[in-house]
Amino acid sequence: MSLKKTLLSIAVSVIISTTMAQVKGDDDGILAQQAANRDKAAIDSAVNGWWTASMKDHASRIAWWREAKFGCFIHWGVYSVAGGEWNGKKVDGYAEHLMRKEKISRQEYADKLISHFNPEKFDADAWVKMIRDAGMRYLIITAKHHDGVAMYPTAIGDYSISRSPFKQDPMAALSAACKKYGIRFGFYYSHAFDWEHPDAPGNDWDYNNPGGDKNLHGGATWYDVHPELLPKAVKYVNEKSIPQIQELLRKYHPDILWFDTPHKLPLSENIRILQAIRAVDKNVVVNGRLARSGSISFGDYKNTSDRPAEFYPVDGDWEAIPTTNESYGYSRFDNSHKPAAFFIRLMSKAAARGGNLLMNIGPEGDGSIDPRDTVILHSIGTWMQQNGESIYGTTATPLPVQPWGETTRKGNKLYLHVFQWGNPLYVGGLAGKVEKAYLLTSKQPLKVLRVNPKDISISLPATAPDSSCSVIVLEMKDMKGDAVRVLDTRNITNVLRAFDATLHGKGFGYGDGKKAAYFVQGWKKTDQYISWKVRTTRDAVFKVGIKYATDQPPGNTYEIHIGKNVIRAEVNAAKKQEIITQALQEVKLPAGEYEITVKPTQISGSELMKLFEITMQPNS
C-alpha cells in the first residue's frame, strides 16, 4: 500500500471510530456517517493532491525553524489595557480571555477597550532588540486573538485597532524591526474561535452560537450533532477568517503562522483554511494546531502542551509554549513569574528531545514590556550569549536520561547541560572515542576517563561556571548512545519520570506536561503498567519514593518491581485531587541491569492514580 493510501486509511478509521463511539441511535449513526464522509473528502483531497504536493518543500520550508530552537511568543491586544481587571474586579485565569470570562458584549468591548487602546510606549525596535538579545531567533505575535480584534489596519470587517486612537500599524513596525535584527517574524491568528463575529463559534452570550461555555447545540461536536448550523460557521470562515489570513500573508509576508483551538471547527474546515494558505504562500511555516487527524498532522510541525514543566515523548518536529507567569496576556495580578533558570533548563530539556521552545511574554496595554519579563529575558540572554551553541541547530540526544541534567547533539559534538554539579561527572550510555572535552564558556580542557565500553567519567572544577546550567562539550568519534539509563549511586536523587517510561497496555497515556500534570493518566486496568530500564555500576542501596495525584476512594493498590525487590503499597484515598509525595522503602541493588515496573494489583475507583515519578535516592 502507498504512503498516501496508508495515511488516508488511518485518518479515516480514526474519524469513524471517534464519531461512532458517540452513537446512541439511528439518527446519531447517520450524523456520524455524514461527519466521517465530510472529513474523509477533505483528507482525500489533501493527501491525494495539494497537501502532498506542498510537503515536497517541507524540508526547505522548515529548515530555519529547526535551526532557531528558541522563539518569542507575544500575546498583546486591547485586552492588555484591562490587564486582568474588569469594572474594578480582578479576573482570574488567562487575561486574554477577558471578553469570554466576563461575557462582555461586542459593543461594550469596543467602547471600553478598543476605543482606549493607545500604547504610547510601544517601540517595535526596542521590543525586537530585547528579543534578539535574549537569544530568541523568531517572533510570533497575536494578529487576531479570540476576541476578534485585528491588531492591524485590516480591510476585512470593522473590528480592529483602526477604531482606536492608535494610528499606527504595529505589525508592520514589528515586521520591519525583525528584518533589521535578523529575527524571523510571524502571526498567531485565531481562525476558529471568534467572539465578535455573529457567525463564528464561541460567543454564546451575544449570539446563540455553538463552541462556547454553555455547550449549546451538542457541545464540542456541535457540527456533527447539528450539521445544519455548519453553513453559518463556513460563512464566517469565508468572510473573515480566510480573507484576513490571506491579507496577512500578502501584506506582511510572514515566515510563520500559528493557529489554535481547531476543535471549534470540523476538520474539513481546518484543512480548507490550510489549503487557502498554501494557495497564497508555499513557503510560510504553519504550526500543527491548525489541522490534524489520527496519525496525520497537516502542519509543518507538531505542538505539545501550553505552560509545560516536562515534555511527553513526541516524534518528529515539535514545539512547546511556556509563559513567564501563568497568563499569556498581560495581567497586573499575576505575580507567578518563574526564574530565568527554569526557562534555561526547560530549553535544554526541549532541545535534548528534539523540540523548540516558544516562550511567551505579555506586554502591557501602554506598549511597555512588563519589568518582570525584562529581567527574565535579560538573564536568559546572558546565558545564551555564552552557551547558545549548545542549543541552536542541535538535534535530539542519542543518550539515555542522565541524573545530573540533559544532553544535546550537533554533528560530532555532544553538549552536556549540567544542572547538578558534582565531581566527577558520570556520563552513562556513551560509547565512542572522546577526542576533546572542555567547558563551553572558558574552553578549559577537562580530563575524561573511559570507565567501561558504555560509560565515561569527567573530572570537573570544584565550582560550576553557571549555577542554573553549565555546559560541557565533548568532541566525539563514532558517537553512539545506549538506551539504558545509569542510576547515580552516590549523591544525586534519580528521578524516573512517567514521561520517560515505556507504557504497556492500551487505553492510558500522558498528561499535558504542566507543573501539576506531567503524569500518566487513565490507568484503569490491571494489565496496564509502566517500566524503565536502568543500570547500576556498583552495588548500592536506594530509598524509593513515589509522587502521584489522586482523588480516588480507598482500595487501590500497586506493586513496584526492582530486580528481586517487590514493593507493595496502597494509593492514599482522597476526595479532591491531591498530589502525594510518599517515601516507600529501601532496596538493595547489586551492580547490573534492571527493569523497574509499576503495576496495579487492585483498582477500586475509576483509575489507579496519576503517576508523576518514582524517585531513587542513593543511601551511600
Output the pLDDT for position 19.
Answer: 39
- How far apart (Å, rounded) are the C-alpha atoms in residues 376 and 257? 26
User: Which residue, among 230, 162, 225, has the nearest Cα to 200 in the 3D structure?
Assistant: 230
pLDDT tens digits, residue range 326-349? 999 999 999 999 999 999 999 999
pLDDT tens digits, residue range 530-580? 999 999 999 999 999 999 999 999 999 999 999 999 999 999 999 899 999
Q: Is residue 17 predicted with pLDDT exceeding 60?
A: no
- How far apart (Å, rounded) are the C-alpha atoms in residues 500 and 401? 8
For 356, residues 6+ apart whose C-beta sits below 8 A from its C-beta are: 65, 68, 69, 70, 71, 301, 317, 318, 319, 320, 350
Mean pLDDT, the chain, rounded, equals 94
Q: What single letter denotes the amino acid at residue 398?
A: P
**Who wins on pLDDT, 1 or 334?**
334
Q: Is residue 282 predicted with pLDDT exceeding 50?
A: yes
The DSSP bridge partners found for residue 321 are 306
Average pLDDT, integer, range 251-261:
98
Output the pLDDT for position 30.
Answer: 62
Local confidence band at 294 (pLDDT 50, 70, 90 cut-offs): confident
Model confidence, pTM: 0.93
Distances from the Cα of 588 to the Cαs of 266, 404, 538, 544, 591, in angstroms? 55, 22, 11, 10, 10
The DSSP bridge partners found for residue 184 are 138
Query: Which residue has 504497556 as its cell numbers?
Result: 504
The H-or-E segment that residue 11 falls in is: helix 3-20
For residue 202, the 8-state DSSP code is: B
Average pLDDT, integer, range 16-29:
45
> What is Dmax (Cα atoms) for the chain?
73
